[in-house]
Structure 1
């Protein structure tokens, strides 16, 4: 039987992996993007970067940039209370939550903050999760450790979703077509090796043969670990699947989400034509 502690840890890891995938490739322009007047962000001062804020936020709350949101997530995960409210003390090596001044610093800060939080969460016993947190938790002294752990997870999940949404807004406001750029010779396989898999994820099936002819590998994976063959089989795109097989796609490779090979994807998504074709190859 799975313990409460393990369920909390599994949920935390799932939410973290989803967020970490959504911020991959973040640029400084995107990190500081302010789509509206009056946004809250992080600002450079003589003493470093400082987040906008107010003890009593205005209503409605200002739109917050990726810089502000990611800094907030870092603070939530790494702050001392994720140790002290559980009756523990922070490890001196944990440090204090920073205010990142660039996209690369933000990703490094996120990674460290999650490592700190995960270690603290994994160390919690059932007794700590069950008992009231007491004086360190102030107004929440009578709340048990589980309620606080769930609160931190809720913060990670909902702010992570906001980060993903802002990235979607940015992409919509700054459209790019990497596939057209590759076909024009502006993007090479060395510069973006997984582009053919990205085309499958975007369901741009028509460009896959052209990308393959340009040397983009049919076996590279998306950020989520899916090959073009997995995606073609799962969507039942038979012509593309046949093309990938002809180009030597590895049908035995498994993905990290379902731990399934290409035939497994066809079966999981009930793509009968793809199943019949793949089974005919055996």
Structure 2
């Protein structure tokens, strides 16, 4: 029987994995992007007294409606939520001094490092809880939430992770839509080599730019590399029913036995999972090469 704690950890890991995938490749330009005149962000302090020389915009009582917030502000907020002392003390546990205090990251790279550390802190704290910790009212330390039990508080932190993570993903979508870039132009023009970006064939398949797969393959980009989410071009072609691309990959010797990171399935498994009858028939016709 699955315990409450196991369910909380499973949900936490799922939400975290989704957020971490969505911030992969974050740039400073995105991190600090302010699309409106009135926007809260994190800014370098004049006196440099704040941690890392940056501090969050904000007021004790936020205006109504509150200003739009940048990715920098939102990611810093998630870091704070996960790593703040109360994710230990409200459960009745001591804070490990090695966990440190939540920083205000001053760049996209620092933000990703801070996110990783904050989630590690939160997950270790969550995993250390007993059923008694989850069932017990938190008491005076939780102020107006004194009568709420540990499970309610854990769910509150997970709600914060989930909904702010969704905001981060949506804001990245807005930025990409307003700042369109074709990541494949550099490869086609010879400015980017397979050694510099080996995963471009898989990324072209992920973008469903099927026409680019043969072109990139001819330029020497590998067929069996995986996207950041762990999928090869063959997985994506099979799952999408892109039969012409799938045939090309098979004829060029793509490894159909590689398993992906999400379903732990090979290429034929993807065709079956997504009910792509033509791809299934073609792959099964390849015999042992498709297994």
Report the TM-score when normalising by structure 2: 0.96
Query: Is 1:219 aligned to residue 224 of structure 2?
Result: yes
Give me the whole-angstrom Cα distance separating, in 2, the residues matched to 1:203 and 1:179: 13
Distance 1:180 1:108 in 2: 30
What's 1:275 paired with?
A: 280
Q: Hey, what's the Cα distance between the residues in 2 that align with 1:186 and 1:66?
A: 30
1:11 is aligned to: 11
Corresponding residue number in structure 2 for 1:145:
150
Contact persistence 1:42–1:52 (CA under 8 A):
yes
Among 91, 94, 97, the alignment partner of 2:99 is 94
User: Does the residue aligned with 2:168 lie in a helix, a strand or coil?
Assistant: helix
Q: 2:54 is matched with which residue: 49, 73, 77?
A: 49
Question: Given the two structures, how large is their TM-score scaled by the length of structure 1?
Answer: 0.99
Deviations 1:147-191 (A, max 9, x none): 000000000000011111111111111110112221111222122
Q: Could you say which residue in structure 2 is the equivalent of 1:171?
A: 176
- Structure 2 counterpart of 1:210: 215
Distance across 1 between alignment mates of 2:102 and 2:183: 36
> Comparing 29-38 with 174-183, which one deviates more in the overlay?
174-183
Deviations 1:89-120 (CA, angstroms, capped at 9, x unpaired): 11000010000001111111101100000000
Partners of 1:63 and 1:248 in 2: how far apart?
50
2:132 matches 1:132: no
1:69 maps onto 2:71 in alignment: no
CA–CA distance in 1 between the matches of 2:139 and 2:214?
Answer: 63
Following superposition, the deviation at residue 52 of structure 1 comes to: 0.3
1:157 aligns with 2:162: yes
Distance (Å, rounded) in 2 between the aligned partners of 1:129 and 1:246: 56
Where structure 1 has 5 or more consecutive residues not aligned to the other structure, the ranges are none
d(CA) in 1 for partners of 2:225 and 2:37? 41
CA contact (8 A) 1:178 1:187 kept: no
User: Helix, strand or coil: the match of 1:155?
Assistant: helix
RMSD: 0.7
Length, aligned pairs only: 282
Deviations 1:233-272 (A, max 9, x none): 0011111001001111110011111111000000001111
The offset of 1:132, in angstroms, is 0.5
Runs of 5+ consecutive residues of structure 2 not aligned to the other structure: none
Distance in structure 1 (CA, Å) of the matches to 2:185 and 2:100: 45
- Structure-2 separation of matches of 1:191 and 1:60: 45
Are 1:243 and 2:248 matched, yes or no? yes
Summarize deviations over 1:3-55 as a string: whole Å, max 9, x none.
11001001000111111111111111111110111100001012210000111
Between the aligned partners of 1:162 and 1:35, the Cα distance in structure 2 is 15
